[in-house]
Structure 1
Amino acid sequence: MKHLGILKPDTLVNLLNFIGSTAAIIYVFCMFIWPWVSGHGDWVYVQAIWDRWQGLNVGMLAFISSVTAFNISRYNAEKQRSRDFLAAKAFLPAALSELISYFINSGRVFNLGWESRNDGNQNFEIPELPREYKSVFGDCIRHAEPNVGDNLSRILVWLQIHDSRMRDYAEQHRGNGGSRSDRRTLITYFYRLGELQALVNKLFDFARNMGEFDSSPLNWEDFRSAYFGLGLIIENISVDDQMNLEAFTRRQIERHSSQNT
């Protein structure tokens, strides 16, 4: 979300509403309550006060009307945004299911590279990115709340990176077996693919209106479930005690956790 000066738009609106509400309360007290108290209920005295401050009264009534109209407009815009998002979100489960199938096929490409042993040409069949998810994600991002939109945007970006990474890997290793150093690279690729799978997994309940949006950081159970869904045997993806899929994933989780604290 863009900033206006040093304040976010929502913060600025809330600040203006707070100032407006405070000013309105003070105005009502000073113009409608205190004159009756100080004048001991004298109607002529109250009228004289109102007449003396006629310019202020007109200005305050216009200000209060403007703030009220603004908030009504803001409320109607928010309700319309919510309706538009619900309409867009109806297509999200199908788009997520397409991505899950794509991730599984992507995992097979990396698995083929992992299992190769300089035994001739490797037949890498690169899966195509689904097409429907882009428009669905785009509509959801346009109408979603900022935290949901940011999460979907991050998935979109990482999907493009993953697709390029997988294609480059397949092109570079056609006809070549996997070396020890290459396996270290593959572990990072497995991790990034699992990360995408885990993020999409966390969206399903929200997309199906079965739960609130979960923006909590990914933990080991999220990754373990993602690797299982990808058909990966975690114990088999290992170079040594320090460089294996579980140890690498746990280090990344810990690093992200320390950055967020």
Structure 2
Amino acid sequence: MRKIGLLKSELYINIIKVIAWLFLLTYVPFMFVIPWFYGDWNYVHGVWHSWQSLNVGILAFLATVIALYVSRYQSIEHTKREFEGEKAFLPHALGELCKYLNSSALVLISVLPPVRGNMSSNLNIECPILPLEQFTVFKNCIKFAEPAVAKYLVNLLKLLQIHHSRLESICTQNYANAPYARSCLYNAAEIQALINELYDFARSEADFKAVELDWEMIRVAYRNLGVIYENIESLERYSREQLSK
């Protein structure tokens, strides 16, 4: 709803901008330039006096447009300040998510070696707790962020919740097979890679840049998670296949 409201606001502002320029391109030449070609100062003064009501209206319209742009500028600056304030908490939130992902990876690694494609039972695994309190930081950042940043954060949260739901199915149902656990492990690496690419922006050390994940990013993410992907059957092949989709 907020995005739709912003799009409508931008549309109205653009319409007003076009109308204002049309008025200026028509008004200025005919009111201030052309009259000088038809007479002296008295003639020009007479034109201005005859069109006094129009002149007052145009000035009022220009004052309104200027006020609109001043208000819009102040609103944009306010939003930027709010976002910078919320972004200050983002590095800590990302750090907490990294701890959660590391715990998730430990669970999945413990599942994979003994499974090797067979169903496992009675795993008795304790599921890591998703740090829901950090979601408030993401929510506030999304509220004030530019569309590209907001979209990135929304996608990150979506992947995180999907990952947690799948991890819970392993922990609570005492069920796992190698392909499923391998898929969950890749999801964890995918989220970790997105977090890695966001860190510099969160620390205000670089501008935001949307990225398309590649194998090098995923490889580094596995290392961050303590996953030795070479020791897990088909994990590298599966990861490369997912990236190519």
Alignment partner of 1:86 is 2:84: yes
Where does residue 187 of structure 2 map in the other structure? Answer: 192
Give the Cα–Cα distance (whole angstroms) in 2 for the partners of residues 226 and 63 of structure 1: 57
TM-score by length of 2: 0.88
SS at match of 2:55: helix
Within 5 Å, which residues of 2 pair with 1:85-124? Answer: 85-117=83-115, 121-124=122-125
SS at match of 1:116: helix
Deviation sequence 1:68-97 (CA, Å, 0-9, x none): 111000000111111111111111111110
Give the Cα–Cα distance (whole angstroms) in 2 for the partners of residues 21 and 190 of structure 1: 57
**CA shift for structure 1 position 12:** 4.7
**CA shift for structure 1 position 170:** 1.9
Give the Cα–Cα distance (whole angstroms) in 2 for the partners of residues 9 and 224 of structure 1: 43
Where does residue 141 of structure 1 map in the other structure? Answer: 142
- Richer in helix (by share): 2
Where does residue 58 of structure 2 map in the other structure? Answer: 60
| Contact residue 104 and residue 128 of structure 2 kept, 8 A | yes
| Contact residue 191 and residue 249 of structure 1 kept, 8 A | yes
- Which structure has more RCO (C-alpha within 8 Å, separation ≥ 6)? 2
Where does residue 50 of structure 1 map in the other structure? Answer: 48
Deviation sequence 1:82-115 (CA, Å, 0-9, x none): 1111111111111110000100001111111112
Which amino acid in structure 2 is aligned with residue 163 of structure 1? H
Where does residue 16 of structure 1 map in the other structure? Answer: 16
Give the Cα–Cα distance (whole angstroms) in 2 for the partners of residues 69 and 16 of structure 1: 12
Overall identity of the aligned pairs, in %? 40
TM-score by length of 1: 0.83
Within 5 Å, which residues of 2 pair with 1:214-253? Answer: 214-238=209-233, 244-253=234-243
Where does residue 75 of structure 1 map in the other structure? Answer: 73
Where does residue 2 of structure 1 map in the other structure? Answer: 4
Distance 1:216 1:23, change over 3 A: farther
**CA shift for structure 1 position 134:** 1.4
SS at match of 1:211: coil
For these two proteins, the number of residue pairs brought into alignment is: 240
Which amino acid in structure 2 is aligned with residue 10 of structure 1? E
Where does residue 156 of structure 1 map in the other structure? Answer: 157
- Report the aligned-residue RMSD: 2.2
Which amino acid in structure 1 is aligned with residue 63 of structure 2? S
Structure 1: any 5+ residue segments left out of the alignment? 239-243, 256-261
Distance 1:34 1:249, change over 3 A: farther
| Contact residue 24 and residue 64 of structure 1 kept, 8 A | no
Give the Cα–Cα distance (whole angstroms) in 1 for the partners of residues 168 and 120 of structure 2: 20
**CA shift for structure 1 position 210:** 0.6
Which amino acid in structure 1 is aligned with residue 244 of structure 2? E
Distance 1:128 1:228, change over 3 A: same
Give the Cα–Cα distance (whole angstroms) in 1 for the partners of residues 214 and 18 of structure 2: 39
Distance 1:69 1:132, change over 3 A: same
